[in-house]
Amino acid sequence: MRIQSEHEYEDLLGQWADLESGLGVILSNSAHAQEFVQRITQYDHWMQGLMQHDPDVGLYLLFQLAGNSPVGYSASHALVCATLCHLLAGELMLDTKERNSLVRAALTMNIAMTTLQDKLATQVEKPDAQQQADIRAHPVRGSMLLTSLGIADDLWLEVISSHHDDAVDKHELHKVPPATRLARILKMVDRYAAMISPRLSRAGRSATESARALMANASAKSDEIGHALLRVVGLYPPGTFVRLDNDELAVVVHRSASANQPYIAVLGSAAGELLAAPRLHNTAHAAPHIRTALAASSVRARLNHFHILRLSAAAGQEQTSA
């Protein structure tokens, strides 16, 4: 299903924003949330529905959201992680129970430090001693808090409590129990999403830099997850700004069969002028090619994302007919 009108685009964008806002409210006020389990389940189903609409558009909106603002960081980060875990669950062929536990753990993994996480995103100074202690304690505290809120899924709770443990990386993925396997997946997704998100103390990295950093630091036992992540989002995910080898500016709009050769919308000339209308280009078929990815914070132009995403629809049709 493709976006057919600007009204449909605005509606879809509003749904992603409403989902993020609703998640932010329940994470920030969990002690007063009614039917917490049901609401988290509802947000999971909502996210699945939005991704089913069009995965490339969903990724575009998510990566734009994650890369452009530190405001409401905790909810934005949770939503990005949950969406990536949803895609990875399919790629790694997890069963439904494991998939549900993983995605819902991603939505709630930082519930014990939501306020602190939002504060750190706008804090220039390094975390002080108390903040560091709270960061170290949040996995176990989060698991305990979720138990008090009615979560009875032991797998969900175990993944929360161990998603920062180095011990989960010690053995091959297919040889570990489900909780360890899911915690390792969430750990890598958490780090990847954190790298691309901006703080006041630093700009977010490009998604490409983040992926390469993770793969460089990953143990051989974690490579399977890293490669799966690259397969589902690409080296240049939708929503990533790129500089081409002819110095033009572009943004990725659609994944292709090759992780490093997506469809792009060319936005600006080598001289730095915005084009009157974005131009679709398949980097797998012809020059120019991508030279480097850019952090979202480095692109300050006002863009018409509806017109850009219409090119994503055209790319999808071209790919289907090829």
73 Cα distance to chain centroid: 12
| H-type alpha helices, 197-304 | 207-217, 223-233
Q: What is the pLDDT of residue 50?
A: 93
What digits encode the pLDDT tens for the residues 91-113? 999 999 999 999 999 999 999 99
Q: What is the DSSP string of 124-168?
A: -SPP-HHHHHHHHHHHHHHHHHHHHTT---HHHHHHHHHTT-GGG
Position 309 pLDDT exceeds 80: yes
- Which tokens is 115 given? 């306020």
Architecture of domain 6-233: Orthogonal Bundle (1.10)
| Higher local confidence (pLDDT), 115 or 214 | 115
Residue 151 CA: distances (Å) to CA of 41, 101, 110, 154, 156: 11, 11, 15, 8, 8
For the chain, the structural domain boundaries read 6-233, 241-321
What digits encode the pLDDT tens for the residues 10-55? 888 889 989 999 999 999 999 888 899 999 999 999 999 999 988 9
- Which tokens is 274 given? 């915005």
Residue in 259, 260, 262 with CA at minimum distance from that of residue 250: 262
What digits encode the pLDDT tens for the residues 180-239? 999 999 999 998 888 776 554 455 566 667 666 666 665 555 578 888 998 898 888 898
Indicate the residue type of 11. D
Residue with tokens 């558009």: 57
What digits encode the pLDDT tens for the residues 152-169? 999 999 999 999 998 898
Assign 172 a pLDDT band (cuts: 50, 70, 90): confident
- Measured CA angle at 298 (ends 50, 9), to 5 deg: 25
- Read off the pTM: 0.91
Residue in 275, 265, 256 with CA at minimum distance from that of residue 305: 265
Going by the DSSP 8-state scheme, the letter that residue 202 receives in this structure is B
Assign 144 a pLDDT band (cuts: 50, 70, 90): very high
